[in-house]
Amino acid sequence: MAEKVLVNVENIAVFECPKCGTTRTVDMSDKKHLGELIKTKCTCKKCDHTFVVDVILERRKYYRKETNLAGEYSTADNTIKGLMKIHNVSLSGMRFKVNESKEIKEGQKINAIFTLDDSHRSEIKKEIIIKNVDGLFINAEFVSVEQYDKLASYLFG
């Protein structure tokens, strides 16, 4: 099965080295066939591992990284709070699962705190807006998007 790689509006795709996990950005301007299976050869700049990836190109504004990060959430007045597991994250938002059903509603603003699994164990604090609630799974958008913060380094480092 092909890996789904997302291409942003500047035609840049992000690939992850299967050997060391380092991500690499690749200009995909010459690949115009969104939705079709293509092969792309990549060489990791960190460990020099060369790998071929079967990809299906799909457009998305920001690269979304699959994760397994622990965190906490709460409303500003602390009436709703709990633990969460972040399944994926991008510069503009995240998808997470809460441990138990809460009164979280679409359009609600919540504070999220989570720790990245980078070498510095960077703590990220974001205000989020709930976009979709599906049982214990929640999709949220960040209120503000910083292009050059710890999260950006984590996603594109």
Q: Where are the domains of the chain?
A: 3-59, 65-156
Cα separation, 120 vs 92, in Å, equals 22
Q: What is the pTM of this model?
A: 0.65
103-118 confidence digits (pLDDT tens):
899 999 999 999 999 9
CATH number of the domain at 65-156, please?
A: 2.40.10.220
Helix (H) or strand (E) holding 119: none
33-81 confidence digits (pLDDT tens):
666 677 878 888 899 998 887 776 666 667 778 899 999 999 989 999 9
Q: How many CB atoms lie within 10 A of CB 125?
A: 9
Give the residue from 59, 74, 71 showing the smallest Cα distance to 28.
59
Longest C-alpha distance within the chain, in Å?
A: 51
Selection from 3-12, 29-38, 70-79, 143-152 with the highest mean pLDDT: 70-79
CB 64 within 8 A of CB 107: no
Cα separation, 29 vs 2, in Å, equals 20
Cα separation, 107 vs 3, in Å, equals 32
